[in-house]
Structure 1
Amino acid sequence: MKILITGGAGFIGSAVVRQAIRDGHSVVNLDALTYAACLANVAEAAKSPDYAFEQADICDAAALTRIFDTHQPDAVMHLAAESHVDRSIDGPGAFIQTNITGTYTLLQAARAYWEGRRQPADFRFHHVSTDEVFGSLGETGQFTEETPYDPRSPYSASKAASDHLVRAWGETYGLPVVLSNCSNNYGPFHFPEKLIPLVILKALSGKPLPVYGDGSNVRDWLYVEDHANALLTVLQKGELGRSYNIGGENERTNLQIVEGICSILDEIRPVNHPHAELITFVADRPGHDQRYAIDPARIRTELEWRPSVTVEEGLRKTTEWYLANEGWWRPLLERDGVGKRLGVA
């Protein structure tokens, strides 16, 4: 299968690119190479003759038409998105442009391509989204595919809008779509502004480890390589028009995650004090959702997929990866906004 993957130089997208190439697929990686993208993420895949790269913005209709016509993919996996909640608070316009207008433009290009080929039955448009579209949970309960949308940030609102567009193009125009909504990803190649890499790198430099509020916010942590495997499963086996919630079955508070990283570093990179002494509680993010939790019953029963990496295993693998790959993350610390507190407006 030849797959057009948007956002393939980003964190989750690059994991999908690497896995797809390993699985024997051909990949066209379409990425605008904005601040969070890095072609080093796909260096392994780029050695394959089945890999091609196109630098383009998903808002550029002419570029999308050329790319579809040139490469003639069998499927689209749409992962290109602005995704950092804190940045969406400071600058929501970029999220509206990329996540909503970009998704619309991509849908139109995919629809024209699909219709121009007489609507092949095996074509797929897989839209990759987030559990944040469902809002916030209390102490109990889980998000299912039937949970009403209740986004609370400019980021989650823009992703909710993109989900609705994809469903509408499936219902109105018959475009063969599948959707997925995932829990919090982590793992190798995670851009340093996100919680887990941020904490690892600050701890290595002996700097304070910022924890929002009291650290009680709960997330369901999904190892990125597990997610990539799930996404390719949904693409190939998912029922058209259906959505699949993908979770790690690893609920932890933010404070537990930070303390876990500190314990790992105490063991493998000890200093003269426990790393947990660096934990510093800071003012909470505006509109910070309290808890996310995924009910993965549908993907488990219908597609026979479930995660393979526990959060303890994943945190250790991730921490060890950052220790071994300073050459990857060090240059990224110079990019716009990295290392600064965002989203306080």
Structure 2
Amino acid sequence: MILVTGGAGFIGGNFVLDWLKNPASEGVINLDKLTYAGNLATLDSLKDDPRHIFVHGDIGDKELVTRLLKEHQPRAIVNFAAESHVDRSIHGPAEFVTTNIVGTFNLLECAREYWNGLDAAGKERFRFHHVSTDEVYGSLSLTDPAFTEKNSYEPNSPYSASKAASDHLVRAWFHTYGFPVVTTNCSNNYGPYHFPEKLIPLVILNALNSKPLPIYGDGQQIRDWLYVGDHCSAIREVLAKGKLGETYNIGGWNEKANIDVVKTICRILDELKPRADGKSYVEQITFVKDRPGHDRRYAIDASKVERELGWRPAETFDTGIRKTVQWYLDNPVWIDGVVSGSYRDWLQKQYN
């Protein structure tokens, strides 16, 4: 089996679904704290799959993590567990330090103790895959080359600083203890099951509900966009073939300004779900005050993972964003549960 942390969140949930889509895949122990962005409804299709074992808990709970490792003897850990929203980190950085730094430290220590107890073959087989972000590298100008794995870390928000710290811990555990780690730093993900606080799902849902489409500043902040299904396939490749101690940047080769992303969504919605008044959703765009310390540009150079492991994204931004918009149109039940908070009511009743 493998242990996946944060497997009820956006990227982690997509990874678990993708992993178990193959009937021959190993089972998954899915450990998730179920914060506001964790949603078991994402995993509804796995209810009757005996290969999926969900555990409600925190990576910071040493006793729980130790017990799970001892009981299930996973051959790998894939760590998605993190607080990840920049805006929330600005208003409440403490949770980001607790989960992203202290939680990762605890997970590493529990995993290292478990790994030390394995036989030679088990040690050779075991992997700890740490999933991180391109935001640890800081911001780029319009003319700077894209981030490579050799870029210095220059985080600019409490979120990115906490992820940078976790990356450093993972690196140190490899160099100090010989603990078998790999790290991936990804660009902005988008796709199904995305909690509607991030740009793309927020714009889709606001558009459909006749609400303003908020754009920070002038909307010219540039991001590299990675379809979440492509990210999942990249993690599979790195987990299977990545060199121990190495970092791999995972990107979509899709640099887009925020305003262009929003206008693309509006054009697709104009086609697939036209407004009743016949006007374009573009008219709902509203520019709002920029957030503090807003990085201007991120761009990932994903040449290394292609060169060494043969991975390249299958989706262009045009194909991926169309799939994403269509998914939100086709899944109103999941969306209603998130927006109304009913999934939180169920959680409170279930785990009271």
Q: Identify whether the pair has TM-score above 0.5, normalized to the shorter chain.
A: yes
Matching residue of 1:34: 35
One-letter code of the match for 1:139?
L
Say whether 1:199 aligns with 2:203. yes
- Distance (Å, rounded) in 1 between the aligned partners of 2:155 and 2:302: 20
**Cα shift at 1:116:** 1.2
Matching residue of 2:256: 252
**Cα shift at 1:292:** 0.5
- Distance (Å, rounded) in 1 between the aligned partners of 2:209 and 2:235: 35
Determine helix, strand or coil for the equivalent of 1:143.
coil
Determine helix, strand or coil for the equivalent of 1:17.
helix
Matching residue of 2:165: 161
Deviations 1:96-127 (A, max 9, x none): 00000000000000001000114611100000
Deviations 1:138-165 (A, max 9, x none): 1121000000000000000000000000
- The answer to whether the 8 A contact 1:46-1:52 is kept is no
TM normalised by structure 1 equals 0.95
- Distance (Å, rounded) in 2 between the aligned partners of 1:219 and 1:123: 34
Number of matched pairs: 335
Say whether 1:113 aligns with 2:119. no
Matching residue of 1:303: 309
**Counterpart among 146, 171, 174 of residue 170 in structure 1:** 174
Matching residue of 1:22: 21
Say whether 1:49 aligns with 2:50. yes
**Cα shift at 1:14:** 0.8
**Cα shift at 1:43:** 2.0
One-letter code of the match for 2:228?
V
**Which stretch has the larger CA shift, 20-29 or 290-299?**
20-29
Matching residue of 1:342: none
**Cα shift at 1:47:** 2.9
- Distance (Å, rounded) in 2 between the aligned partners of 1:42 and 1:181: 25
One-letter code of the match for 2:42?
N
Matching residue of 1:280: 286
Deviations 1:276-318 (A, max 9, x none): 0000000001000000000011000100000011111111111
- The answer to whether the 8 A contact 1:16-1:232 is kept is no
Say whether 1:265 aligns with 2:269. yes
- Consecutive unaligned residues of structure 1, counting only runs of 5 or more, are 337-345
Matching residue of 1:180: 184
Determine helix, strand or coil for the equivalent of 1:291.
coil
**1:79-158 to 2 correspondences below 5 Å:** 79-118=80-119, 120-140=123-143, 141-158=145-162
Give the RMSD, CA atoms, in angstroms: 1.1
- Distance (Å, rounded) in 1 between the aligned partners of 2:134 and 2:159: 12
- Distance (Å, rounded) in 2 between the aligned partners of 1:270 and 1:21: 36
One-letter code of the match for 1:301?
R
- The answer to whether the 8 A contact 1:128-1:180 is kept is yes
Matching residue of 2:9: 10
Structure 1 stretches (4+) deviating beyond 3 angstroms? none
- Distance (Å, rounded) in 2 between the aligned partners of 1:47 and 1:242: 37
**Cα shift at 1:335:** 4.4
- Distance (Å, rounded) in 1 between the aligned partners of 2:320 and 2:21: 21
**Cα shift at 1:44:** 2.2
- The answer to whether the 8 A contact 1:76-1:126 is kept is yes
**Counterpart among 329, 334, 339 of residue 328 in structure 1:** 334
**Which stretch has the larger CA shift, 38-47 or 143-152?**
38-47
- Consecutive unaligned residues of structure 2, counting only runs of 5 or more, are 343-352
